[in-house]
Structure 1
């Protein structure tokens, strides 16, 4: 996530009042130049350092036949480079505020996929709007960031779909504005993360509301989710439009469940899309795409995938088949 250094110090201190820190399983990763971030796993005791307790990958057995399907460059290097954008709980976050050890659905799953393929995975912090360019510039091999598989993104990437999610509104505890569906956003200020699909969707909703003679929606943009959360806490925004999995996790964990609550309605998912989240692979790399698909299916079949989702309380987004480019709007 893009951050200004002078802002980061103040932000980290503020987020400490919102979250507790925890250690959630996952083997060590190569983090590269990942900056300290203010998103941490908020559900247990804190720990320090770059190592973590063994996660799902520890029980995964490598499959030599799947390793043989990897492109030669990855077999030779023994590494899959994963671009991700931290923090975006529960998909990716750090085990403690100011730390460098990642955790989350995507981190755990990336390590398990690499273990199944007989290699290891680095998990590198990348600004959200730089993840796809990083892949296309060969600075990463895949992207795992709770990224929706959309027709626009499929112009440059292929996706191995690994979850199905909808959209909700994250609001302050008690829902002081009484929001029930998307029409209640008329005349309100909504926080979004820059360069996400939510921003143009809210702008489209705003134009439709104004065409109907109603006040539009004011959008405030932030480089990361943590800043958007703070905007709600401080009253600068009334809601954050977010994938239900991430919004539900925030509502459950921030300030021991006392900071936020979820507003769910069919109109919200219909308005903002939802659909399949996928592992992004450059279209120029069909060998890697197929290897990732087969490794993911193996993890689905042996229960590792389900255990990872259950660890973060998001079993409802699970799929049973690892398919390619099946992203559809809900």
Structure 2
């Protein structure tokens, strides 16, 4: 996407070097090498992680640059297929892409169906408008509030669980407003349709860069998760190739360059 396609021969040669000493490349990996590109399923609506640049209408963001660096280390081109967040794993299973790269949290339940190459450790918090008096210590403190979340995300699951706990205690539930995109959730917040948005602290910081003083954190960072590039378990060869390529980006400095570009030092993975 941001570099010229390499020939299938060059891609195969480079990737063969990365995979030295690992399991023999399988059929799926052979197809990727022959195509000269790796296709990622991504929800292109989560700045600063991955989103569509309004000027170029291409994927940009921290995740997008990670995907490009990893692909380059494999001798391949990175391409992104825009898929709604709750459809990412089904799309991968249906063969619409080779891997998922979309700020996807590495959770035990997901590890039952996909393998992860972790590349960051991301935190979440309750986000509100700058003039909101809301201040909470735990998600259950959102009792009686309307909270926007991205549909299919771990954030949605956490708020639903907090609401269920409140109901068990006989307290007002949290009205969970699940939306297709994180940007939709922010718009709901800004227009006053919800009291808060539960999402990544990096998302809040990035939005305030573009719109100074619009949002603020109403809670401490309530949870942190590793995020990773996901592949189907049966495609172990692809997972091994991505893992080797990511380690190469750490060794050659290209990973650090992406981290610094997006000011993600606090979320970086150590070699």
One fold, TM greater than 0.5?
yes
Q: How far apart, CA to CA, are the structure 2 residues paired with 1:305 and 1:178?
A: 36
Contact 1:113–1:299, Cα closer than 8 Å, also in 2: yes
Contact map agreement 2:101 2:230 (CA 8 A) in 1:
yes
Instruction: Decide whether the 8 Å contact of 1:28 with 1:101 is kept in 2.
Output: no
Deviation (angstroms), 1:318 = 0.5
Q: Determine whether 1:279 maps to 2:235.
A: no
Answer yes or no: is 1:138 the counterpart of 2:90: no
Task: Kindly indicate whether residue 216 of structure 2 is the aligned counterpart of residue 261 of structure 1.
Answer: yes
Question: Aligned residue pairs: how many?
Answer: 257
Question: Matches of 1:303 and 1:160 in 2, distance apart?
Answer: 18
1:66 matched residue in structure 2: 18
Q: 1:113 aligns with which of 70, 93, 99?
A: 70
> C-alpha deviations, 1:83-131, integer Å up to 9, x for none?
101110111112226x521111111111111111111121111121221
CA contact (8 A) 2:147 2:195 kept: yes
**CA–CA distance in structure 2, aligned partners of residues 173 and 278 of structure 1:** 31
Q: For each residue in 1:205-229, what CA deviation from the matched residue of structure 2 results, as whole angstroms up to 9, or x when unmatched? A: 1121233332211111211111110
Match of 2:197 in 1: 240
Pair 1:76–1:249, CA change in 2 (3 A): same
CA contact (8 A) 1:67 1:118 kept: no
Distance, in Å, in 2 between the alignment partners of 1:77 and 1:125 is 19
Cα displacement (A) at 1:180: 4.3
Helix, strand or coil for the counterpart of 2:172?
Answer: coil
Alignment correspondent of 1:216: 173
1:137 offset after TM fit, Å? 1.6
Going by fraction, where is strand more abundant, 1 or 2? 2
State the partner residue of 1:85.
43
Which secondary structure does the structure 2 equivalent of 1:166 belong to? strand
Task: Tell me the TM-score normalised to structure 1 length.
Answer: 0.72
Aligned pair 1:290/2:265, yes or no?
no
- Greater RCO, CA 8 A, separation 6+: 2
Unaligned runs of 5+ in 1: 1-25, 31-61, 322-330
Deviations 1:54-77 (A, max 9, x none): xxxxxxxx5650277752111111
Matches within 5 A, 1:1-330: 27=2, 65-66=17-18, 71-96=29-54, 99-250=56-207, 252-255=208-211, 257-265=212-220, 268-269=222-223, 274-321=224-271
What residue is the counterpart of 2:10 in the other structure? none
CA distances 1:167-202 after superposition (whole Å, capped 9, x unpaired): 211110133323444233111110011121222321
* TM-score, normalising length: structure 2: 0.87
Q: Distance in 2 between matches of 1:149 and 1:177?
A: 30
Does the residue aligned with 2:108 lie in a helix, a strand or coil?
A: coil
Task: Report the Cα distance in structure 2 between the residues aligned to 1:180 and 1:249, rounded to whole angstroms.
Answer: 23
Greater shift, 173-182 or 191-200, is seen at 173-182
How many angstroms does 1:298 deviate by?
1.0
Q: What is the match of residue 40 of structure 1?
A: none
